[in-house]
Amino acid sequence: ASNASGTGRWGACARLWGRGAHGIDVCAAPHAARRRLARPACARPMDALVQAFQDVAGSVDCSTLTRILRGVNCTFTEEECNAIYQGASCEGGVSLDNLRSYLDKNQTIKFRVEHRGKAVFFDMIHSNNAARIRLWLRHKPGMEDFVETKMLRYEDLKTEEFTRINPLQKVPGLVRADGVTVFESSVILMYLEEKYRDVGPTFVPSSPEARCHMDLITRCHDLYVASPNCTAPGFSHCQGAMYLSFGHHGAARGMDLKTRAAKIAELWKQLSWLNGNIVGPYLVGDSVTHADFTWFPTTIFMEFMLPLVFGWDNIFSEKTSQLPELAKWWTFVSKLAPFAQVRQDILRFWEDMEKKGQFKHIIDEVQADTSGLKFKYP
Q: Answer for the pair 291, 284: CB distance below 8 angstroms, yes or no.
A: yes
Mean pLDDT, residues 149-169: 93
Give the pLDDT confidence of 276-314 residue by residue, as tens digits. Answer: 999 999 999 999 999 999 999 999 999 999 999 999 999
pLDDT-based confidence at residue 57 (cuts at 50, 70, 90)? low
Give the pLDDT confidence of 92-130 residue by residue, as tens digits. Answer: 899 999 998 998 888 777 767 776 678 999 999 999 999
Kindly tell me if the per-residue pLDDT of 8 is higher than 60: no
**Is 306 inside any structural domain?**
yes
**Is 273 inside any structural domain?**
yes
From 55-59, 60-64, 263-267, 276-280, the region with the lowest mean pLDDT: 55-59
**Is 186 inside any structural domain?**
no
pLDDT-based confidence at residue 140 (cuts at 50, 70, 90)? very high
Give the pLDDT confidence of 230-248 residue by residue, as tens digits. Answer: 989 889 999 999 999 999 9
Among residues 296, 297, 240, which one has the least CA distance to residue 263?
240
Average pLDDT, the chain: 87
Buried b vs exposed e over 199-231: b needs ≥16 C-beta within 10 Å? eeeebbbeeeebeebbbebbebbbebbbbeeee
Q: How far apart are CA 353 and CA 4, in angstroms?
A: 42
Torsion of CA 307, 313, 319, 325, to 10 degrees: -90
The neighbouring-strand residues paired with 94 are 60
**Is 112 inside any structural domain?**
no
Distance of CA 149 to the CA centre of its chain: 9
pLDDT-based confidence at residue 171 (cuts at 50, 70, 90)? very high
Q: Answer for the pair 309, 292: CB distance below 8 angstroms, yes or no.
A: no
**Is 325 inside any structural domain?**
yes
The structural domain count of the chain equals 1
pLDDT-based confidence at residue 16 (cuts at 50, 70, 90)? low
From 30-39, 130-139, 148-157, 160-169, the region with the lowest mean pLDDT: 30-39
**Is 139 inside any structural domain?**
no
Model pTM score: 0.76
Residue type, 258: K
Print the domain residue range for 324. Answer: 208-368
**Is 131 inside any structural domain?**
no
More reliable by pLDDT, 105 or 10: 105
Q: What string of DSSP letters covers 230-297?
A: --STT---GGGGGT--HHHH-TTT---HHHHHHHHHHHHHHHHHHHTT--SSSSSSSS--HHHHHHHH
Three-state SS string across 22-49, please?
Answer: HCCCHHHCCHHHHHHHCCCHHHCCCHHH
Q: Answer for the pair 338, 135: CB distance below 8 angstroms, yes or no.
A: yes
CATH of the domain at 215: 1.20.1050.10
**Is 267 inside any structural domain?**
yes
